[in-house]
Structure 1
Amino acid sequence: MRAFDFPSLAEKLLPAVLAAGQAQMRYYQRGVTVETKPDSSPVTVADRESEALLLDGLWEAARGVPVVAEESMSLGAAPAKSRSFFLVDPLDGTREYVNRVGEFTVNIGLVVDHAPVFGMIYAPALGDLYVTLAEGRAVEAHVPLDEPNATLSSLPLRELRTREPNAEALTVLESRSHRTPATEAFLAGYTIGEVKRAGSSLKFCRIARGDADFYVRLGPTREWDTAAGQAILEAAGGSVTDMSGNRLTYGKADDGYGNPHFVAWGRDPIAAHVKAISDR
């Protein structure tokens, strides 16, 4: 089975990730036309152009490793099943992008034996980069788009580490676009001290850097939405589980790479207050 050198992989992918970010910002400044895919989700020319750049970068960086990419999948271009494969979401947070909220991201995740082991997330409007460099090690760096020749080895890196939760005053993240009554019911089982909002896969990154304790998603997502974020969060000390507490796994090709409902935790899953839930 192929071995992956994460620092080397990250260095090789960084130019393509920055190029994708530059393409997105060109359209972001002048506006884009939004189309609707068969699953009713939005897509723009920026999504497609970004994906093409990332696919070229992955071909150069890890030739022969299959890639499951969001826009290619929407056109029916699915690779053969493999123990190792990349998941690409070229522009996560299209709604934020179209609404000119800067919290959209470029996402590349690597899955090996159903587990996300490497993630790279870049928020071009913010210049923030998050990446897994080893098992148990994830870092962040600031990479402005006007530094297209930046290398990881030349950047100041900050280690990512989740925080110990205070069960009596938890900080939770919620989506800017997807809060539901089911989410409200779930949160009622916890003692919430603060609610913060974030878009796209940045929610995983904010938990990884210790800014919040958990994020729950009770709605449809695909594996390319979560793989990079899960790899980064787990390397920083967190976990991502389904609603039964099992680790979120990958490679469900027969189900269209769909995810179950899940929770991204800063540490291990936190038990809800059973009485609070039963009283509703």
Structure 2
Amino acid sequence: MKTIRRVLNVIPSNSRTAAGFWQLGAFVALVLLRSSAVASDFCIDSDTVSFANSTVFEYRQGHPHLRRQREKGEPKRYTRRCFVLCRTTMQFQKFARFDPHTPALDDKALAARIRNVTRRAAWGKPLPLDQRVVFPGYPNLRAMSKARREVVRANIGLGWPTYFRPGNFRMLIVHDSNYHKETHANLDAALARGELFVGFLTTYPRLSINHAVLVYKRKPASQNDGIDRYLVYDPNHPELPRELTWSSHDHAFAYQKDWDFIGGFVCVYQIYGKWLQ
């Protein structure tokens, strides 16, 4: 409302006619529609990979336990890739496009194009459509990763280097509520700009969760309870969105309960928003 008042204040008084108001209304509506279209462009059913990140530990009601030793001949589990999958999702959203009407590439050519995308800085600005890396033969990332799973897995990056990211060391510092309020403001600002927000969730020094998720939409407020709700792509659960919440009363984030997390309070650190983050 404040922005609209400023616009009205700069309009000369002799132009404040009914036609002028209609033009202003049309302009504001167009801006809002364009903003909404950008923000809602991400679709969890098509813009994420078809496979899940596997946890290192086995979980029982949200509590970690050592897994049994892998038996001979049992496929190696795809673990430690939550950061990798969130980064890859953001990179494909910014730097890739799909063309289902042309023949698919062979494995070698497909691998080269995947690396062309995933070796770009995730925090870079999105490329225009005509400059993006083209992936023929598939309508979206979900379909391609389902049909060519092993090629995709082998070329989006290893998991262990993410343990040594410089931004991870923020978890060792005790942050007050002002830090969490700033993170919440940055989250809302990123979504308002139509951007994705990758968050590192942790309860350090407790080890109930150390995980990366991608926040892509703020849910409409359904009740005046002081809780902001966000839709999240969780690499451990690619089938459906998860929910991250912010309490304006507690000045704290919380993540939903599932088989791999007991639910409740988490610290959130933005990652891949800028260099060294």
**TM band (smaller chain):** under 0.3
Higher strand share: 1
Q: What TM-score, normalized by structure 1, do the two folds share?
A: 0.26
Larger radius of gyration: 2
Q: What TM-score, normalized by structure 2, do the two folds share?
A: 0.26
More relative contact order, 1 or 2 (CA 8 Å, 6+ apart): 2
